[in-house]
Copies of this chain bind each other. A is one copy, B any other.
Amino acid sequence: MVVSLKDVAERAGVSAKTVSNVVNGYRHVTPATRRRVQQAIDELGYRPNLTARHLRAGRTGIIALALPELNNPYFAELAEEVIDYAAGLGCTVLLDPTHGRRDQEVLFVRGVRAGLIDGLILSPIELENEDLAERGSEAPLVLLGEREYDAPYDHIAIDNVAAARTATRHLLELGRRRIAFLGARHGRTRQPAHLRLRGWREELAAAGAAAGDDLVATTDGYTRADGARAMARLLDSGAAPDAVFCYNDLVAIGAMRTLGERGLRVPEDVAVVGFDDIEDGRYCAAALTTIAPHKRAIARAAVDALLARLDPARTPPPDSSRRIRPGFALVPRESTLGRP
């Protein structure tokens, strides 16, 4: 049997309200009463029922974080940041993997978790503009990442074009001229990798370097296996790159594995740059040069934006969607610089 507040009240010989007051640390309770109630609580092993509390309060303090998958360390690291920061603010985070599937993303956006969560932070992969337009007015929503939408929601993302240009410039400055891009998506109209691809193209154009389609390798997803396969295809195609800029670190790690198997040295034969700065990259045989988005800043911005929409006192004008651009940094390591 689960112990309710009423049971405690009976045992202590007080009303439910008094027990509630004690549990919630209300100040004006006589020490004697408080002691009696506390004893009843301990004896019965009473724990307040959070669901009842949430219903009563009209909010739960739970926010959902919908990410493609936890197996991608970038998202795992980001999730950890969000959870810890939210916990410090008294909020609980419910992680909802979408597997990068549109139907899943739509489900969360439409409010499957209504009443359970106060708001939603979503990092979409396949979601379309129309999915957001049809949404209706549900719980506050904050968007995360490279995909861009017209809908009026707060959107947290680093400047992906600038970051991709920075990465590409780094390779150009090292004297590389045949710089490939690894991780475009097969026959997609709206490229998820859109902005990074554009940055790569712009920077190469500015330098007068080759940026042909023969240097763009597509992938099905963004895993290590995708990177390994794409690198193999690129090498087999005869494109002969002297550097690769990869959509993310996982793809880069897969690419480096293939290069190793082919007897190509990193960075002497092919320099490699990733994106995300996941911890694995630092422990590769050739530590991975990468773009490091400021994950903590992203996590905090996302939570802060959501809580602002939740708090009537500091709600931004309802129609104002905000673009927030946390910082990033190029982290040069051995995969481009070689061993010191």
Contacts and interface: CB of A to CB of B under 8 A. Distances in A.
Interface residues of A, number: 49
Contact of A83 (B48, B97, B114, B254): B97
Interface in A72-89: 73, 76-77, 79-80, 83-84
Contacts of A111: 47
A138 interface: yes
A279 interface: yes
A99 B272 CA distance: 33
B115 A48 contact: yes
Copies of this chain held together in the complex: 2
A228 B283 contact: yes
A189 interface: no
Given A83-B95, A97-B84, A116 B71 contact: no
B73 A80 contact: no
Given A54-B51, A285-B260, A71 B60 contact: no
Interface string A275-287: 0000110111100
A32 interface: no
Interface in A269-316: 279-280, 282-285
Contacts of A49: 55, 114-115
Interface string A83-124: 110000000111101000000000000111111100000000
A75 to B, nearest CB: 9
A110 B53 CA distance: 18
A253 interface: yes
Contact of A279 (B71, B94, B260): B71
A93 B224 CA distance: 27
7 contacts: A53-B115, A69-B80, A70-B77, A71-B73, A73-B76, A92-B94, A257-B285
Given A47-B111, A49-B115, A50-B115, 9 more contacts: A49-B55, A51-B54, A51-B55, A51-B116, A53-B115, A83-B97, A224-B282, A280-B280, A284-B284
